[in-house]
């Protein structure tokens, strides 16, 4: 009995090693550009893809955060290219992609991860706050993709978008955020029809409530910051899901139990979902359950 158990454990270990080897080989000699890569999910994705053998460039607006991210990755033995860029600016995105291609000679993976969240009713927002969120969350994905299209088609690469539960159902105090995340789904679906025949892959990851960095910015009505919500997954877990979506060239991944529940409920009856959310707000159910 003990001998059979050891043999079974050895076979399981062998299968795990083989699976890890195959996963790593997929990313060998591949290059990836991750926007919003200086912290949070973006940094975790850069670490995971680097661990699997990819050469990575990370882009963000803040030079200091980029340097901290570079040093953090270097401490793990990963050498990455850092690019200071603003995804809401088309020229900056074109330069960002050009610099990544100039450094690595090609671009195989683009992860459109940069974005900001919000927590405010629409009536409390002004036009400038709405425009800024659309520029960052939507145009900030369109501009890099537009600049990288030739590389992605020529190399049969992958472009991946970071979405959220807000891209599956409507959520109060997140109207513009929901609008941008729903828009990404339509953009990705249409883009897949355009570049899929060229061998390129388009994927969307619908992230649930994820562990946040302390400086994570959630925009309030006055443009300030409020604390992010609860966490159901770690950044490392989410990063592995990104890598697996790219490796298997899946079109979508819905993360966390609450994300899967939201997707199912939204498909079965959007009206009931809306009524449940309204009821929750009226009764302050979240406060009773201790959910911020």
Active site residues: 177
**3-state secondary structure at position 109:** strand
What are the backbone dihedrals phi and psi of residue 164, each rounded to the nearest 5 degrees, phi first? Answer: -160, 180
114-144 in b/e form (b: 16+ CB < 10 A) is bbbbbbbeeeebeeebeebbbbbbbbbbbbb
Phi and psi, residue 49, nearest 5°: -70, -35
Burial class of residue 239 (count of CB atoms within 10 Å of its CB; 0-12, 13-18, 19+): buried
CA distances (Å), 55 to each of 13, 48, 178, in order? 28, 11, 32
- Gap between the Cα atoms of 132 and 180, Å rounded: 11
Pairing of strands 218-219, 225-226: antiparallel
In contact, 163 and 206? CB cutoff 8 Å: yes
- Percent of the chain as helix, strand, coil, to the nearest 5: 60, 15, 25
Question: Strand runs (DSSP E) across 120-240, as ranges?
Answer: 158-164, 201-207, 218-219, 225-226
Residue with token string 């359950």: 289
Report the C-alpha gap between 205 and 203 in whole angstroms: 7
Strand bridging mode 201-207 / 31-35: unpaired
């Amino acid at each position: 009995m003990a001998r059979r158990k050891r043999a079974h454990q050895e076979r399981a270990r062998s299968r795990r090693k083989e699976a890890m080897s195959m996963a790593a080989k997929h990313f060998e000699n591949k290059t990836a550009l991750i926007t919003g890569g200086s912290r949070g999910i973006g940094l975790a994705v850069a670490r995971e893809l680097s661990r699997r053998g990819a050469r990575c460039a990370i882009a963000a607006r803040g030079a200091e955060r980029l340097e901290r991210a570079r040093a953090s990755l270097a401490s793990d033995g990963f050498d990455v290219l850092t690019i200071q860029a603003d995804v809401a600016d088309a020229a900056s995105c074109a330069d960002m992609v050009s610099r990544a291609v100039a450094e690595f000679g090609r671009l195989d993976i683009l992860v459109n991860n940069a974005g900001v969240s919000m927590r405010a009713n629409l009536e409390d927002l002004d036009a400038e706050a709405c425009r800024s969120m659309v520029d960052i969350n939507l145009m900030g994905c369109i501009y890099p993709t537009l600049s990288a299209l030739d590389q992605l088609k020529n190399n049969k690469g992958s472009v991946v978008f970071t979405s959220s539960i807000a891209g599956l159902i409507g959520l109060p105090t997140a109207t513009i955020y929901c609008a941008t995340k729903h828009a990404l789904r339509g953009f990705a679906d249409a883009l897949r029809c355009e570049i899929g025949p060229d061998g390129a892959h388009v994927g969307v990851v619908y992230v649930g409530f994820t562990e946040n960095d302390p400086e994570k910015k959630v925009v309030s009505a006055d443009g300030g910051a409020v604390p992010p919500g609860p966490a159901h997954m770690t950044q490392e877990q989410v990063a592995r899901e990104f890598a697996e979506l790219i490796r298997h060239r899946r079109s979508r991944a819905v993360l966390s139990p609450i994300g899967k529940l939201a997707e199912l409920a939204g498909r079965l009856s959007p009206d009931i979902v809306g009524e449940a959310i309204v009821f929750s707000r009226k009764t302050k159910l979240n406060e009773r359950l201790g959910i911020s």
